[in-house]
Amino acid sequence: MGSRRSKHKSNQKSRLSARLKKRQEAQARVQQAATPALAHLDLRPVPAPGELVEDLAVFTKSCREQLAADLQAEANAVSEAFDLTVRGEFDAAKERVKNIARGSIYSQWRLFIRGLIAFYHRDIDAARENWSRLDSARRPARIAVTLLQAETGVPEDVQHPRPQPLVTAARDLLNRSELFQEAKRIAAVRHRDPDITFAASQVAMLNEFYERYRPIDSGLVTRFAQACVRLTYFQPNSRVFDLVRKLPGPSHDPHWNLLSVAYYQQFRGSADTVRRHAAAYIQSDLPSLTQLPPQVQNALAAVLYVVQSEAGLFSDMESDYFGFAPPSASSLRRARNCLTLAIKRYPTYRKAHDLLVRFLEMEIESGDRSESAQAALEQEHVAAKEAIAAVFPQDTQTALWLIDHYFETDDLEKIDTLVRQLSNQRLDDPESRALPWKLKLREAMRLSRRKSGLVAAREALDAAESLWPAWLKRDWLPYLHAAIKLRGGDPARFDQLVLEARQACGANDLLHNVMTFSALQLMHLPGAQLKPLRTVIDDQIKQAERQPIDELCRLGSFFWDLVRTGLRHKGYRQQASRLGKSWVQRMERGTRVTDQEALQDTCLWAATHRFWRPTYGPRQPRWLARLSARNPRIALAVLEWLFDFRGADYWIREYSAQVELVEEAFKSENDPFYRFRMGRTLENAREAMAVYNEQRRRYSYDFAWDEDEDQDEEEMECDCPRCRARRARSQSSEPPAPDRRSSSSTNSTRTLFNLDDVDEDEEQEGGRYEEDAIPAAPADRSSGAEQRRDIPVPDPPNRRRETAFAEEFSDDDSMDAQPFASIIYKVFDQLGRERADEFLDLLRILGEEGKGTREAAASMARIERLFESVGLTEEDFTEFMEAGLEGAERMANFRDEFTPPPPPLTPNERRAQNKQRRKQLNQKNRKRR
């Protein structure tokens, strides 16, 4: 026990002595400072013999305590007024000493402060006027004379001349010439690389500047340092940013955590860093920011929780080579927790609500859980929607969704509440204006549950018929009437009605059966009665390949009506999934469709479910690009599909043709439903374009690659592994693509189905359309996972891999690839990922700077040291350097490939990989031939 105490004491002692030593060193630095102004900073007020205790009380606490209470208050006021003038708050300083009476002993100090403020404003006459009334025997007058003498250079009071050292000190400190000189030196550093806004060499200068000159003018020095930190925001070198942000930040962001969040959001692979800074701000900075109003504090916390939730998901996505891996269930759960916290802190934060609904939908769609867990999630989804409806009563889409849901759960009271809520609003959306129709139709469906309600159900259906929206086809209505007949036990009438309905709309077997089935299921016919028809439909859809494409499109058109009115039957999911896959495959093969109206409806329907899979970002497949370049409604479908993706703002540049087409069609569109949707989509497009332009302006270094459109096009055309790897590298250095989703995305289920077994290679066989009608739409076919596996994964002990890598570069005459590859593997293997990154950065500098520069020489020296540290010889180094500096760029590419081995392949993935390999082999053979 005793030894522990003595150890503690000795630790304390050593800490104290270290602190003392540090202080002494700092003082010594000031003493030894080369600049005269700094040398004066150790000046301290010293009491003169016989000096009034009231004057001493301005800077001596012990003297202040000796005064009467009223004088103590005045001494405090004077002292605080001085502090305010140092901070530049002159009005506040005047205000602070305003109440000192003329007869008070402190009136001299009041006059002095007024004169001082005039002096600081360079109004010497006003200063002199105030100070002329001061008692020359007291300290204020002595300070005033010193200041005036320092400013004018002429002795103010010949009878009582001021000591020259004090006048010199005042002049040096007032001029601040060294401070400005040093600041200008930092600002004048030129950078050879235009991407660099603040170099590492400037960081060292800035740190020294901050330490040395802060005592002279803390306000200016702090402002200057903060401006430098903000400059580093504009460059991609995060090391400099991390170095410089150690300087204190502004009052609302003392540790630069907010700026760090914004900074790291720009880069891929930084999601964890973003999360860390956001958490640090919420936990450490925010509680101490008492000057912020509580509402703003809560809003800040909510915004950062949302940032955290998104970053958590992006972190998952970034683990995939191309960033399209779906987030894991645990990440989604964490993200939801963050969003719940955000809503708790700020209940009216719309973005948090929308994201919560979206994440819940993603989890529900993944469907990989027990029935009870799935039901709990669905319940949570409904609760999230209810929360939105409660906080945002003007949100008609959510209200409509909830009405549909309550009809399913037979919760009439809640429906009434929502209908009343909606009736108080002006509804612009045609979908919302069709609410009375929908209510009647839903009422008919609800009443048909019991046979006793069938008469009322028929009446409700008749009422719905009279309210049928003009923008919706009526083909399905007779089927609904027929379904009520069958429900009432009149199969003969049912048969007759459906036959008439089929003749009226000219539906083929499949469409007729599906329309019948959906009507029967929505009118609550027992499952046993539906089973035979279900079996027939299943068989027909399984053989969808044999169906004419026009018939598939007509069925798609019917499904589009079900989706846009929110009247999906229970069997819809399964039927739609199969139809969607089959239809996409047929379209990829270039099958021609004659029924254009059905085709555009099917495209709109398929877009809501993302039936075509994106590769290299949300790019539409070629067959769709051709269609969307000509048909405005298909262009609308594509744009709606695009806006459902993260980073749509970035990709909008590739959809300008579609935007123009929709814009043109919007002017003459007569259908109110499409007109409304087009208007909303155009608004989204304009916002996205504005965000894109802003990003482009701000992160010009990341857009360098798309300046040359021809080159971009060329890259898209080449599909060899190397070009794909290069494209992937470009992808990985893309600027941040902020998440911006339209509120409409929250009210519909977007990704209902998995399309993993869609064969992307089939797309190659397409292309029967006229080429002149094709817009310049890039098409990439392989999925991210397939792409990553195409590239040889580094595996240092494996010599064959080295050879493969060397072969990759063997066509380049500038380097001998084999030793180059061999050395790289060795370095990567022995250094580990982090130091390998450092190594590659050094090489990059070497490649960019050329051999002659100082930076290049320093890089070369460090590379040499690295080589030594991993046991490579001088010969290796020479060989490596001879292999060509051009290799630096390639190695940066290679670094991207230096990732942990991918998880074991599923049988489907393995098949796809084999297919891909065979294809590559065939291509290679063809080239050789």
Partner 1 sequence: MDNAITAAMATLDVAIDASPEDVRGAYLNLVRQYPPDRDAEKFRQIHAAYQLLSDPIVQAESMLAPPSDHPDLHALIAAAEREPARLPKLVLLALGNQPNN
Shortest Å distance, C-beta 349 to partner 1: 6
The Cα 327–Cα 320 span in angstroms is 10
Task: For 7-24, give the DSSP string.
Answer: HHHHHHHHHHHHHHHHHH
For residue 197, state whether it binds partner 1 (rule: CB under 8 A): yes
Point out which span in 221-229, 568-576, 648-656, 673-681 binds partner 1 (CB under 8 A).
Answer: 221-229
Among 75, 203, 216, 552, binds partner 1 (CB under 8 A): 216
Answer for which of 250, 326, 590, 672 binds partner 1 (CB under 8 A) is: 250
Q: What percent helix, strand, coil does the chain show, rounded to 5? A: 70, 0, 30
Is 196 a binding residue for partner 1 by CB under 8 A? The answer is no
224 binds partner 1 (CB under 8 A): yes
Please give the torsion angle defined by the CA atoms of residues 617, 622, 623 and 624, in that order, rounded to the nearest 10 degrees: 40
What is the contact mask toward partner 1 in residues 150 to 179, using x (rule: CB under 8 A)? ------------xx--x--xx--xxxx---
CB crowding 458-482: b at 16 or more within 10 Å, else e: bebbebbbeeebebbeebbbbbbbb
Which stretch in 96-104, 184-192, 765-773, 873-881 sits in contact with partner 1 by CB under 8 A? Answer: 184-192
Contacts of 430 (CB under 8 A, 6+ apart): 469, 471, 672, 673, 676
Angle subtended by helix axes 124-131 and 107-120, to nearest 10: 170
Give the Å distances, CA to CA, from 214 to 32, 176, 203, 210, 323: 17, 11, 16, 6, 46
CB of 211 to partner 1, least distance (A): 15
Q: Which is nearer to partner 1, 278 or 415 (CB)?
A: 278
Nearer to partner 1, 254 or 590 (CB): 254
Question: Which of the stretches 51-59, 324-332, 627-635, 861-869 binds partner 1 when contact is defined by CB under 8 A?
Answer: 51-59
Nearer to partner 1, 179 or 872 (CB): 179
| Number of chain residues interacting with partner 1 (CB under 8 A) | 82
With respect to partner 1, which residue has the nearer C-beta, 146 or 631?
A: 146
Q: Which residue number, 119 or 401, has a Cβ lying nearer to partner 1? A: 119
H or E stretch at 321: none
Residue closer to partner 1 (CB basis): 151 or 411: 151
Closest separation in Å from C-beta 243 to partner 1: 17
Residue 438 burial (10 A CB sphere; 0-12, 13-18, 19+): buried
For 205, 238, 239, 255, 602, the CA distances from 186, given in Å and listed in that order, are 7, 20, 19, 23, 62
Which residues in 105-134 contact partner 1 (CB under 8 A)? 116, 119-122
Among 30, 33, 35, 59, binds partner 1 (CB under 8 A): 59
Taking CB under 8 A as the rule, does residue 295 contact partner 1? yes
Output 64 or 622, the one with its CB closest to partner 1: 64
Using CB under 8 A as the binding rule, the residues of this chain from 80 to 109 that contact partner 1 are 82-83, 85-88
Nearest distance from C-beta of residue 227 to partner 1, angstroms: 4
Which residue from 596, 574, 586, 573 is spatially nearest to 547, judged by alpha carbons?
586
Query: Are the C-beta atoms of residues 423 and 436 closer than 8 Å to each other?
Result: no
Neighbours of 158 (CB within 10 A): 7
| 85/82 Cα distance (integer angstroms) | 5
DSSP state of 569: -
Q: Is 261 one of the binding residues for partner 1 (CB under 8 A)? A: yes
The nearest distance, CB 398 to partner 1, in angstroms, is 19
In this complex, which beta carbon is closest to partner 1, that of residue 304 or of residue 435? 304
Instruction: Establish if 901 lies at the interface with partner 1 (CB under 8 A).
Output: no
Q: How far is the CB of 395 from partner 1 (least distance, A)?
A: 17
Q: Which is nearer to partner 1, 42 or 868 (CB)?
A: 42
- Minimum CB distance to partner 1, residue 609 (Å): 32
Q: Which of residues 675-714 bind partner 1 (CB under 8 A)?
A: 698
**Binding partner 1 by CB under 8 A: which of 3, 291, 466, 668?**
291
Q: What are phi and psi of 681, to 5 degrees?
A: -65, -40
- Give the angle 204-206-211 at the CA atoms, nearest 5°: 100
Decide if 56 contacts 78 (C-beta within 8 A): no
Q: Which of 16, 195, 219, 594 binds partner 1 (CB under 8 A)?
A: 219
**The one among 1, 34, 46, 69 contacting partner 1 by CB under 8 A:** 46
Alpha-helix runs per DSSP H in 245-293: 257-264, 271-280
Binding range to partner 1, per CB under 8 A, among 140-148, 563-571, 606-614, 856-864: 140-148
* CB closer to partner 1, 123 vs 595: 123
∠ CA 423-426-427, rounded to 5°: 90
155 SS3 class: coil
Using CB under 8 A as the binding rule, whether residue 270 contacts partner 1 is answered as no
Cα separation, 109 vs 74, in Å, equals 10
- Residues 511-570 binding partner 1 (CB under 8 A) are none
- Rounded to a whole number of angstroms, the minimum distance from the CB of residue 397 to partner 1 is 21
Q: Kindly identify the residues of this chain, within the stretch 304-363, that bind partner 1 according to CB under 8 A.
A: 304, 307, 346, 348-349
Q: Work out how close the CB of 337 gets to partner 1 at its nearest, in angstroms, rounded to a whole number.
A: 20
